[in-house]
Structures are given as structure tokens and as C-alpha cells.
Amino acid sequence: MAPYSLLVTRLQKALSVRQYHVASVLCQRAKVAMSHFEPNDYIRFDLLEKNINIVRKRLNRPLTLSEKIVYGHLRPDRVAMQDATAQMAMLQFISSGLPKVAVPSTIHCDHLIEAQLGGEKDLRRAKDINQEVYNFLATAGAKYGVGFWRPGSGIIHQIILENYAYPGVLLIGTDSHTPNGGGLGGICIGVGGADAVDVMAGIPWELKCPKVIGVKLTGSLSGWTSPKDVILKVAGILTVKGGTGAIVEYHGPGIDSISCTGMATICNMGAEIGATTSVFPYNHRMKKYLNKTGRADIAILADEFKDHLVPDPGCHYDQLIEINLSELKPHINGPFTPDLAHPVAEVGTVAEKEGWPVDIRVGLIGSCTNSSYEDMGRSAAVAKQALAHGLKCKSQFTITPGSEQIRATIERDGYAQILRDVGGIVLANACGPCIGQWDRKDIKKGEKNTIVTSYNRNFTGRNDANPETHAFVTSPEIVTALAIAGTLKFNPETDFLTGKDGKKFKLEAPDVDELPRAEFDPGQDTYQHPPKDSSGQRVDVSPTSQRLQLLEPFDKWDGKDLEDLQILIKVKGKCTTDHISAAGPWLKFRGHLDNISNNLLIGAINIENGKANSVRNAVTQEFGPVPDTARYYKKNGIRWVVIGDENYGEGSSREHAALEPRHLGGRAIITKSFARIHETNLKKQGLLPLTFADPADYNKIHPVDKLTIQGLKDFAPGKPLKCIIKHPNGTQETILLNHTFNETQIEWFRAGSALNRMKELQQ
């Protein structure tokens, strides 16, 4: 299928001069009006309609909702960046030399706040520790026309849902869980920072035309079954890579039993199956949410153009999954991977059989996946029942509100106090333990234990850097029930608890309002508008800073084949972006490429010795840390390559996992398969993401071999490259390597990076 950029070009040619002029004028207005841009200005359903009608005539068939939104846009409507990725994105934008962003853009401070003592104390500590970074982001936003949500505002995806997402929007964000906005009927796609720079610079953004997987929902949710169980079930069906290269589009009568924020939960965790994004069609639940969040005007427009915000009857899906919500049972997935699905009723038995700890040390609710008003209300309803019988949580219990608006509203309505009374600690409005920002004190590293969360990811060491923590993901209400019981063997649908009075009782399934009956309490004002005149605004980056570092251009391709590449590491098994560029304490270096490169591949398992962060130096023959070995090779002019397994780069959108190997002298990553975002990120930085034409060739390469990649002078789309494997005994083997580069991406490689190519085009 054609890349999105080619479809845009065709669409531009198909538009009348007047229509194209209107689109161009709107983009120009956005450029000059950014300093006083307000959420949801420039929403043009009429333009979407015109573009869809053109595409409909060309294709002459019913369209999915995904096709309508993607093909109905000439360019993305908006860019959103969280603070950890925004540092590198803004550094790259500064390097572009452009004076202002070309589309509405925002920065959200949610990743750098460590959970330690509780919301207010942790926030104060974060502001102190990260003052230099926050100042950089605030001043860069002011200088280049980017809105800035201060620390404490909340998690980026909840802020987007409350303020910026709307039915039919095309939004990109520098976080893999950007698809959260699909719960409000938008196509919201997670990308790397370099992609965001392209859009902010007003140049074409590429997206390989995705397949569309349809998930038909029938029946209705009830009892303990929640929206989270839908995606936990889908993850079990499709696995962590089953959605790669596809948009997951939910439809069917069952969607009307799911709240808008519940739909966002489902779309959010679609990142865990590798999907490009996920989306729900516009319905009355979305209208209700728009009205309650102060956007009734958008709801009126959406009603008027509703035919373009739902799939056409009879549209075709590349794959179809059907789920009867009336039969769906509460699920819990894990440990160590989000697609290992179990019904809650069975997980205790499975845990005992597998040797997983059944006692739950900590239950954690919140995160961008499950921190809505409804989520907090359902958890509070469960907690209230336990309190009525004199019980508190047996496990430790933490609560993360999704935004300042959610925090203020659950405080006003009493939910927060109920959750405290049952033993919970309310953390800051931030990502916290979900991304490893957790100063955990109750265990030692290496201690085997179980935690249960309402988060989205549960990779090894993800939450607390302990590889022996068995993390399970489920709904907030199930987390709360399990934290009260203290064991994986508890099933709230059937099992009884014993109250303080010695009497047995059963928890009832929570039944609460999806939205507050009164208006949301907005809480503190935490948004900074960029000034109308930013000519005097300075953005300072100290040359001695350990947190921020201005970027130097990567070297261009020298026009030659890659000869005698040393293998830095041959990775065994799962290698996510957490393995390639760890989060947690490393987040503080996200704006300093050289410093953060000290975490390169420290979590990946070396097939040669079965250890993490231990590889053989081909020159000294000594084993040492991966980053140190890479630096040694770079210093001595030795170019290197990484060999990976299936779905390499699964997980977060962090482009540092691509920047670091490029910075330290890497030239290619050769794997059985890649996760979508990471493959694009590698291309953007001038690296070669290549896949074995025959996956069995992975076994032909040994860590002590050297590789030569041939065919780069004739590098062309669809044309494989040759790889000569040179064994230490003098023998050689030749294999083929496939790639997905198009002509534009090949220019990135030749220029040394996409940013280098952007500068070339400006000259």
C-alpha cells in the first residue's frame, strides 16, 4: 500500500485550487497565530468532508473510519510532547533553524516526577531537581510558539483527552500511548521526536498506509468487567506484535456500553499489541464527555458531520475479531509481558503452578491508561465497602490521578479521601511508577515479589528496576479488590472477605457515575501560553550542563559499503526500548545525548553468555558493559552493528533508543522483525534497520563474526541488501537483508539523518 505522504500528494492534486488554498491559509494562520492559539481553534469538519468525498470517489467503496480520518487530512492537526521526549524534540527543532512551529504544539511535564512520599512533596522535589530542564522546556516553548503544561498538570494523554482530542482529529505525540485519544474518535499516533520535528517544521510526515483490524463488540459491559478487560482480551488474542502496521478500529453495538474514558483506556493500551493506533466511532458517550469538558460546540459540529466520524456500512476490515462483552470476564495479564492473559478467576492457580509469588506487595492504580474520574470512582466504591466492614488494604496501595482536573474533582467529591482511608497514598499527577519513576523502599533489588497495577506495561524491571518483580496489569477496581485481599488467589466475583467483626462478606461490583454530576473542578491553572512576541525570548543551554546538550549533526554516509562491522551484541529474546534505553533514573539525562548513551542496551541479554550488560570487546577480548564497549569501538574507529530477535524495539516511542547507537558509532541494526515506531526512529537517525530475508539466518551469525553490508550504492526501495558473514576461521556466508526504506528515507540515510536532510533542503 502507498505511504501516507504519497496519498497526501495525490489528494492535494485532486483538490480544487480553492480547497487547497483554504487548507494552506489555515496552516499559515496557525503559524502566525500560535501565540494566542486556543484549544480546538481551526477545527474544519467541512474540509475533512470535502477530502473524504474526493477519496470516496477515487476508491469507489465503503470506507472504514480509519481511512476517512487518515485520507481526509493533508497533514496532522496537532503535536503533543511529554517532557522526557520533548527535550530531544525541541533540541532537534532548534537545530533546524526555524523560527516557529507550523502547527499547534504542546509540551506536558509528566515524566520527571518521582513517586516517593506523596503528591505535594514529590512535586516540590521534582521542581527543584528538574528546574534546569523545566526552564529549558518553558523558554523553548515560549520562543518557538509551543504551549507549556507545567509539572503537576497531569499525564499528557489525559490532558489531551480533556482539552485537545476531538472526533476526526489527526494528532501525533512523542509517546507510544498517544492512541489514548482514539477514545474520543481521533486518529492519534505515537511517534519519535524526529517525526514531531517534521510536523512542527511544516514538512511532509510519513506513515506507511496501515491495515485496519476491526474489533466488533456486541453485548454490554456489566458487573466487574470493565473497558480494561476488552484490551486485555485483545492483547491475549493478537499478542505484542499482532497489531503491527495496523489501526485497530472498534465498532458494533457493544461500544454504547463503554464510557468515553473507557474507550480511551482500550485505545491507550493498543500500543501493547504494536498497533499504529486504535479508534472508536463517534457516539453519544463521546458527546457527553465533550459537553462535560466544556466543548459543547465541538459536539454540535460532530453531530452535524457524524456520517464522516463513523465507518461506512459494509466497509472491509483486513482482519475481524468479535467479542461479546456480556460474556467477557475480568482479566489480569502478566507477568513480564502485557499479552499473557488470564481470567482473574484463574490467575491464582496459574501463579502457584508457575511459581509466581501470590502475595501482593503493592497495588497501584492510575497511569495514562486508567486514571479517569470513572476509574477513581469505581476503585473508591470498592474501597468504601471494605471500610464499612473495618478492613484496609493488606498490600501497599498507591493512587495516581490523571490530571490536575481529576485530582481536584476526586478531592471535592470524596473519592480521594476514601482511597486514603483504605490505606492508599495519593501521588502526584504524573506517570510515576508506571514508567519506573518510583523510589521503592519495601524490597531489595533481586527480591522476588508480585505487584498488581492498572498500568499498561509490565516488562521486566519496568516499574521498579527489579527484574524479580512480577507485575500484572488489570482494571483499577480489580487492583483495589486484590490489594484489600492481598493475594492473587482472590476472585471478587465469587470469593468472600472476613470483616473486622469476623463475619464474611462479598464485595459488590462497583456502579458509579462515569462523569461528575457537578462540573469538573479545574484545580490550579498550570498552563503557560507562548507570548505573542517572542523575539526577546532566550533559550539557554549551558555547555557544562549534565542534563542538556545541544546537538551536533551526525556524519553523512561516505558513499561506500559498510565493511567489517563488529557485532556489539547479539541479543537473545525480547528487547524492548526499555532494554535499549532504560527509563527510571535515566530519565534525567533525556536532554543530554552523551550522558544518556551510558544506558545503551544495558538491559539486553547477550546470547554469548546469557548476561545483561556484559559483552566481549573484540580487540581486548575482555567482557565489559555495552556502552563502554561501544565507546571503545567509536574511539578506535570501529563501526558496529547489533543483531536482534523478534519485534525489536517494542514498547515506548523513545527515540533515544535510536539516537544512542548512532551517537556511539552504530551503523545498522539487523533483526528478525521491528516494532513500528522504533524502525522509523532508526531511519530518522541515519541508521539501517534491516531484517533477515530468512529469519533462520539469525542463527548463522555469532557474536565474534564480522559483517559486511553490500549494495548501498544502489540502495533502492524493495531491493534487498547483501550481507557477508565473516567467521573467525576464515569462512564466509552470504545472506540477504530486507528493508522498508522508501526514496525519501534513503535520502535520510545518505544525508546522515532526517534532520541533516531537512537542512539540505533549506539551502
Res. 205 pLDDT band, cuts 50 70 90: confident
- The pLDDT assigned to 42 comes to 53
* Of 194 and 414, more confident: 414
Given 78, 108, 111, 440, the catalytic residue: 111
- Which one of the listed residues 77, 175, 339, 413 is annotated catalytic? 175
C-alpha dihedral sign at 70, 75, 80, 86: positive
Q: Give the three-state DSSP class for 96.
A: helix
Known active-site residue 652: yes
Contact by Cβ (8 Å): 341, 235:
yes
The yes-or-no verdict on residue 44 having pLDDT over 60 is yes
Class of domain 562-761 as given by CATH: alpha beta
The mean pLDDT value for 112-134 works out to 95
The rounded distance, in Å, linking the Cα atoms of 649 and 377 is 36
Domain ranges of the chain: 33-324, 331-492, 562-761
pLDDT average, residue stretch 100-120:
94
- Average pLDDT of the residues in 600-611: 96
| CATH superfamily of domain region 331-492 | Aconitase, domain 3 (3.30.499.10)
128: left (phi over 0), alpha (psi -120 to 50) or beta: alpha
Query: Stretch 152-177: mean pLDDT, rounded?
Result: 96
pLDDT tens-place string over residues 465-492: 999 999 999 999 999 999 999 999 999 9
What pLDDT, on a 0 to 100 scale, did the predictor assign at position 717?
Answer: 96
pLDDT category at 30 given cuts 50, 70, 90 is very low
The three-point CA angle 112-149-597 to 5° equals: 35
- Output the CA torsion sign for 665, 667, 673, 674: positive
What local confidence, expressed as pLDDT, does residue 151 receive?
97
pLDDT, tens digit, 9 for 90 and up, residues 349-403: 999 999 999 999 999 999 999 999 999 999 999 999 999 999 999 999 999 999 9
Q: pLDDT value at position 95?
A: 86
Average of per-residue pLDDT values in the chain: 92
Among residues 110, 122, 229, 339, the one annotated as catalytic is 110
| Percent of residues, the chain, with pLDDT higher than 90 | 87
Non-local (6+) Cβ contacts of 146 within 8 A are 34, 81, 90, 101, 105, 106, 107, 140, 200, 530
The grid coordinates listed for 435 are 514508567
Q: Is 222 a catalytic residue?
A: no
Mean pLDDT for the stretch of residues 181-197: 94
Residue 239 phi/psi, 5-degree rounding, is 70, 180
User: Residues near 261 by Cβ (< 8 Å), separated by ≥ 6?
Assistant: 161, 183, 289, 372, 373, 374, 375, 514
Whole-number Å distance between alpha carbons of 216 and 239: 18
**Stretch among 28-37, 280-289, 329-338, 422-431 having the lowest mean pLDDT:** 28-37
pLDDT at residue number 343: 97
What pLDDT score does 516 carry?
97
C-alpha cell at position 350: 496459574
Distance CA 657, CA 648 (A): 11
Full-model pTM: 0.87
Evaluate if residue 36 carries a pLDDT over 70. Answer: no
Query: Could you give the C-alpha distances from 70 to 66, 297, 544, in angstroms and in order?
Result: 6, 23, 44
| Overall residue count recorded for the chain in this entry | 763
Catalytic member of 579, 654, 739, 757: 654
For cell 484496609, name the residue.
Answer: 392
The per-residue pLDDT for 39 is: 43
pLDDT tier at 754, thresholds 50, 70, 90: very high
Choose, from 73, 331, 378, 457, the residue flagged as catalytic.
457
Q: Which CATH number fits domain 33-324: 3.30.499.10, 3.90.650.10, 3.50.50.60, 3.40.50.720?
A: 3.30.499.10
Is residue 578 among the annotated active site residues?
no
110 given a catalytic annotation: yes
**pLDDT for residue 324:** 98
Do the first three CATH levels of 33-324 and 562-761 match, i.e. the same topology? no
Lowest-pLDDT range, 41-50, 192-201, 292-301? 41-50
| Strand segments (E) across 645-720 | 666-671, 688-692, 706-710
Q: Which residue bears the cell 473495618?
A: 390
Omega cis (within 30) before 335: yes
DSSP secondary structure letter of residue 377:
H
Residues of the chain with pLDDT > 70: what percent?
94
The gap from C-alpha 549 to its chain's centroid, in whole angstroms, comes to 24
Q: Of residues 475, 597, 652, 753, which has the active-site annotation?
A: 652
User: Is 1 a residue whose pLDDT tops 80?
Assistant: no
Q: Helical H runs in 38-192?
A: 45-59, 65-71, 83-96, 119-129, 131-144, 156-163
Contact predicate 665/630, CB 8 Å = yes
pLDDT recorded at residue 507: 98
